[in-house]
Structures are given as structure tokens and as C-alpha cells.
Structure 1
């Protein structure tokens, strides 16, 4: 009888469950637990489907809970504010996790697929928190399909039409006919590491010899710069693999499209970050109008299956890999190729599999990797790009690169092997040009630091948080020092132990809500200086014209936009959670509308691929973790076609950890310069900026205790 009453009065049942939700911490506490699991898995490099599903479901539930809290007018007291604060903490962890593996951002796009597994997990989490979930309408049974860990694959209707119109691909026996000599001298030698080392040691500018362009090769009156025309001429003469590592802003997109036209490499697949898909379509229409391009969104319902150029973003590539590998592709371009540096990630595996399939079918496909920042932290970032281009496999150089290494007549143990090996790799297709060498008329660029004083309350809070973090590091250091055997303790600061303690802190990132870490510290600083950075951008907009405002965190963007709105300044907003059409609408408004003065941009969503050269001033409201990321952002305005000197105003919070982070970023700027540009500066340690920031904090704390650095 009691059961019947409960079924007849579901409202009463729900009322009973709500107190338990508060007692157990509710859905927010559950989301915090799950997001820590995701964070831990990504830190350990575990690219598992279950981790991606958890990330997507937590992000969706955070959005839903935030919207619910704001919609309930009765919940305006401190309790509602506290819940929103807790949700912000979960969102922060999601953001820092996505910064480690940016492929996760695709799971938040409007066109991202919500799998059955994700729906099931969402229901499970809600029910665990005592929230009733209405039953979904029953679906018609679908035929069983092979189980697959990746997201479901699709075949757009227009692609099926293309397949039916031409069911048999023209056979190509060139891949079978082409044979390379087997290695002789280098059998048994480990070669990948010596090749990497040859670039770490530096040398001359890393750029293959390129032919002079012939005017007769151009079918249209294209306004190409000489360096662009030389790359296209090389493709016309038969070269088929390129790592185009020109500095950002030198027109790599046009070079790739025209190289594909010169090589007749159609159908051509172009894999790009989501934010630049529409820009690639526009560039294709401009440079190669006789070869129609189509952009793949979601499941691809609206694509042109007969197009010559297929543009797809990394995040949905796995859905379309099936039909793409059967399309008879003769060329593939990977934009922002440093995205595939982690060879274990799903997106890297998708790209490498398609590349291998193309190379298996035809002997000389056109393969182009584009990146203005090929090296982010380490020379090892090269490896996945070389594998995509078919220069190496999992363990060794292959094909023509291996033949070139054999022709050197030396082994890695011989003097002279390293520079000769480096030249052999470069000649396979590395193309690197600097703005100062090929675009003499490009205006100057400078980064100017603007120190700002944070107001008293925020400054005290930040200093207290820094002190709490430093105290925790000190405690760990003292414990570790006390555990050392007698006689092993060094005089002064034990720098090896300092780095060990900092590395442990960097890896642990305690789950306690009250615990500060280097990520929460930088976010605190970003929030504190957001209003000051926005005021500075507003002053620039009034005095110097259009301004691009970059930030890492959404709340910093929100504060800036509120500041601009209060001051009557119109702005465009470019964020990661926008649809492609919405994003393009904001870009067009900033570019074309003289009354839109500022573009407020997410460093993740707008830091690559966009052309915002209508502005010559930029405000970097928050610091990046790498010089490469900072440079990519600046090069949204420092590009071919820019006529004004470019200044990036970097807002630095004085007397905080911000100042040290800025110094560390600048110290790491020489990585690509030494490996590719032949610069003489020392290659910095590949240890990340977060670790070095923690080392700085701990050493400063030790000095305050009276423990001095060694002379």
C-alpha cells in the first residue's frame, strides 16, 4: 500500500530525496569527485574513451546546474552563491584539464555527439545525487554494429551518392612498384634519438632548397609573395612532403592550397582546429576557386560529397575516418600540426592512421604539415609530425629518409653524422622562413609589459595564497631533508631536493578545496587584474583604434566584457563554446564594423588560425604557459597585410608570481629558434613553466628562513 502511494505521489517522493542531496553534498560534490578522476587520468596520459565520456558529462552537468541555480529566483542568498562558487571550482579543473589535452574541447562544441554511454553516465550521476531523471522515449531498435570504443562513425548521404556514382577507384599500382633499398650500414642502430639530438644541437636555418618560381606556372594573377611562390614551384616539380614551419602570419594556408593544385592532389583532406574551419573554406574559394571545398560539421549532413577539398576539424575526424579512408584521397594537410604531438592521443592516432592509409594506396601523395610553432616544449614534438609525413615509423626512419641516411656513409657513432643527418631530414621537406627574412616590409612587433598594482584586498588575498602554497612546499622540503641520512645534507639550499619537492607538488595538485596550487594561483591573479586589463584595453581603443583582448579563463573574459559594456564600448566575443557560424559572425563584426572596437578572445579558441590584422594593438590579460602560445596569439595581428607596427601589451600583476612566470616564458622562447632558425642561444631546459614557478616560490621561502643560495 505504501509503495502504491509513493507511485501515485511522485512529488512527495522527490521531496523526501532532497534533504539527502544536501547531506551527501549533492550533484556538485559528485561532479567534483568525477572531475578529479578525469584530471588524474589526463595527467598520466591515459587517453581512454571512459575519460572523455566523463569529461563531457561533467561539463554538461555543470552547465545545467549553473543554469538551474540562476533560474531559481528564490535561491538568491548565500547558499546559492556558495553553490555557484563550487561549480566554478569544477569548471576550473575542466579548463586546466582541457589545456593539457585540447582535443577535449571538441566534446563541448554544439555539434558534439552525446553518445549512449554519455547519456547513461549522466543518468547514473543524477540518480546517485538523489535527482529523479525522466525516462527517455523508447527508440526504435537499431541493427547491431561492431562494438567500437571511438565515437560512432557516419557516412553522409552525399558521400554515398559519390560512391555510387563511381563505385570503383581508379587502380594505382605506383605504391607497389616503388621500392626502396633495404638499410645496410645502419641495420640495428637506434636512429630516432640521434636525429632528434641533431636538431637540439642547432645549426643553420632549417629550410630545404626551393626552386625559383616560373611565371608560366601560375594560372591566375595571384598576389603571392616570393617565398610562397617558391613552395608552390617545389610542389609543381614533384616534391610531395612538407613541414611548413614558417613563422605565423606568412601565408601558410595559401601555400598549402596552391601546392595541392600544382600537384593535382585531389581529393584533398584538410584537418584543422574547429575555430578555423570556415576560414579555410574562404581561403580555398579565394586561392583555388576551380576546386570546390566543403566543410564537415557534426555528422556531415550538409556537406558536398563531390567536393575536391574536404575540411574537417580534429574533434569529429574519428566519426568520418571510415568513409574518408575509402574516398581515394591523394593529399592531406594537417593545420596547426603541433596538435598531434602526443602520439598516444585519439586525434593523433586518427591523423596517423589516415596518412598511413593514403601512403599505402599511392606512392607519392601530397602530405603537408602546417605549424608556426612546431616545438612547444621539447624536440620530441617533431616525432608525430615526421610520422604523419611518412619520414619515420614508430621506431625508425623509413623510405627516402632512410636511403639518405645510408648515403651519408656514417653511423651515429661517427663524427659528422649529426649535421649530415639533420640536413637529410631538412631536405625531406622542412620549410622554415622568418618574417625578418622574407617580409622586410612587415612592420615591427614588440611585446611591452605593463605592470599593474592590484587593489589592497585582492593583493592581500593573493599574497596570503602564495604564502600558503610556499608554506606547504617548505614543509615538504623540511620533511624530505630530515629523512636524508646523516652527512648527506648539503650546505645552503639543496637545489636537487627543491626541484624534487616542486615536481611532487606539480604532480599532486591536492584535491582539498582549500588548497592552493599553481593553477589556482594564476587564475586568482587573472581575476584580480581583469578589470585593470580591460580598462587599459578601453583606453587603447579610444586612442589607437581597434584592440584584440586575449584571456585564458572565461570569468576573466566576462569581467572584461562587463567593463566594456559599462563604458559604452562595443565588442565582439570569440569563445570556444560558440558554433562556427556564431564565431564567424563576431569575427566579421570586429573586422568590418568600425563601431566594434574590441575583440575579446579566448586564448584557446582564438589563439590560432584567425586573421585579426585590422587591429595593431593587443592586450594579453593573462599569461600563457608557453612562449609558443603567446606568439600564436600575437600573430593573429602581426601578419602579411599588416601596415602598422604591432604591440602586444602584456599585463603583469606586480609583486606576485605573475612577474616570475613572465620571465620563465621569455626564457623558453629560444627552443624553436635554436632547433630551426640556427640561433646561437642556449636551448632551455624542457621542464615546464609551472615547475619552475614552484621552484622559485620554494627557494624564495628558504631564503626568507635564512638559508642562502650557494655562492
Structure 2
């Protein structure tokens, strides 16, 4: 597109992202179908911000709520609010007073926050739903992973349709808008209020729902009326070789985690006050064990959100490599994704190679790996996406894991997702790792003659104590 984009975003979008924002400003009710990793989030935020279409409602998977809040506040000068029990009754007031400009809700909570009543028992339709009047506040709605509302009969689809009706700006995001068949587009086109442009539901099915339908014509009509889609291979010149995305997620075991965190904090206060070298050395080892326990609890608490994230990613028909530290985490994920291959160090060499071959050959879309067993020596370039449910202690080891996908044979930009527990040790540890890129030694080294270990540990202690006082 030749038209110049005037914006007030805090970042400068890539050229193809500017095109996406301009397309959205022109169409207003649209779908961004770019492949994962191309920045659909930034483009949708850019559309809303450039149009000043606030307040904005974001409907997204549960694992991405905190990330959407952070992204809005990173890219714009607006405040975003995640809807939860603490704001269940106050969010309309907070929006009306201008204290927040964006509200974020997950699909499963639409009924909780936006539906007053359903005037029938059992199966219902849109006309049976009584929505709360506050939904009128929103001038724009962003629907992330919109293929989740492809079923016209599903409750979440009905609620989403009711919330979006009449909104000036409606932006759907999906790397796979058509999951199985053209029929999948009907509900999404209806939500965009575009169905009449295709002649209505009956004509759409007549034109495109048959085995011999001209899907080339459907594609042309979609791109002309309401959809923009780019693949990584077409915009590689705009992209860095590797992109890191920090995804902050809620943990499910907050009470258990807080008990362990308070115990560690009390112990570190004793440690910092101790002046005896020998006692301090022994206390340091015990503190390391407590740090390990805290990390394990954070990982345990992220399982539910990790499963949601993985399902969301796989729904885009893209392969994924997931890294963990503890076998328990690997096993929990394997239970949820039995078709995944695992590389954990518990397999024989033959089994390990078979897992790699299955993944590289496209027979399995998900590889669940332990950091120690799969962090070096393997090629997993069938995926251009890496996710860390847990992460190593050092930057060098992070790179080693990332480079299972980011290596010779990889033809796409690699996106590395770090799932970080909100308000946990993850944040400070991750910050230290990436601030201290020169540190290659493991923090668990017990030799006090190695200065990097001691310095790393001291910085971890100081950061943790400072974090507790924030």
C-alpha cells in the first residue's frame, strides 16, 4: 500500500505490518490471517489506536490475557485491564471514568462478565441472550484466535456475536481462519457483519460448500472484502532471524507458591545478615535448594496455561517444540498431548532418533523436550516455534535450546515463546539471564572459587529481595 501511516505507537511497525494497519483502517471489520509470529497483535492494536477506537475489548485464550495487557501498554499510551473477580463489578466504572481504555477477557468468561440472563433452558440462540448494557461502551473488539468461534451453535460464538454487533471496529486474528472447510468461515464472517456481502448463509453454502466449489473465487472475495494474510516466507526480509516473545501467565497454585516464597525470603534475610564464611556457604547451598523449589512450583502452576497455549498454537497447524526441566512437567504435558514425541533422556538412542525423525517428518506436530537431553546436538527445524515452560539458568543454554530450530535448514524466522509466571521468580531470573549474557557457568556450581557463580547467586538474591519489596 502506498498511503503513509500516521500513528502514535511507541514502536515503528515493519512495512508489512503498516500495510496491515492501513488495511484495517480502511475495512474496519476484518480478519488478519497472517502466519503465527508475524505480529497480528501489534497490527490489531495499531488499528484500534490509529482509529482511536477506545474503549476496546479483547477476547482471547486464557493463556494470553496478561500478554495482551502488556502488549497494549508496550505499544500504546493506553491502560489495559484484565477482567477478573477483583474487577467483576467495577470494570464498567473504570472504563467510563477513563482510568482504563482496554478490557481483556478470555472466551470461557464471556458469560460471566457480559451475560445477564438466558431466557431458555438447554440449547439457546442469540435472541435468547440478555447482555449487560455495559457492552455498549466498546467501540472496538479484537478477537484473538478467532477460529475458536467457528461453530455458529457454540455458546462462545453466540456470546461473541452479541457483544460485537454494531461495533465500528471488529478485528479477528487467526493463523488458520479455515480450519477444516469453508463452512468454518460462516460464524466469523457473521461476527464481522460481512455475511450479507457473500449473499447470506444459504448462498455462501451453495456457492462454496460443495465438493466442486470454486474456492479460488472465495479466496479472492475474502481478500477483496475483509481479509489480509501474509506468510513468513514472503516477508522474511522485514524480519529478524529470531524473535523472543515473553508471555506472562497466571499460575494455578498461588497459595502454595506464596508460602514457599515467604519461606525463602525469610531464609535469605538470615543469609544476608550472616557474617560467618563457613555457615554462609552452607546456607547458600540450602538457599539454592529453596530457589529450585520455587522454580518448580512456578512451573507446576503454569501447566494449565501451557496446555492452553500449546492447543492454541497447534490449532494454527504449526509445529511446536516445548522445553521443560522437570520430568513431572514433561509427563503432565504428555498426558494432555499423547500424540507428541518426547525427548527427555529417558529414551534409548534408537527411541530418541525415532522421535526426532517423526517430528522432522511431520508425523507429529509437537515435541516435548527436556532442556538437558534435547538442548544440544539435535535438529528440529520442522518447527519455527519454540516454547519454554521452564527455562535454563543461563543465556547460553537458552540459545542452545532455541537453536534446535534456529539452525541450518530453517527457512523461516524463529519465534521463541517464554511462558513466565506472573508475580513469580520467573521474571527476575529471566531478567538476570538476559542481562548477563556473558555468564556461561551454571548457577548450581558449588565451587566458591568460581566468581561468576557467586556473583550470579548474589544478584539473584538481591533481585529477589528487591522484587519482594516492590
For normalisation by structure 1, the TM-score amounts to: 0.33
- When Rg is computed on C-alpha atoms for both structures, the one with the higher figure is 1
Higher percent of residues as strand: 2
Instruction: Give the structure-2-normalised TM-score.
Output: 0.48
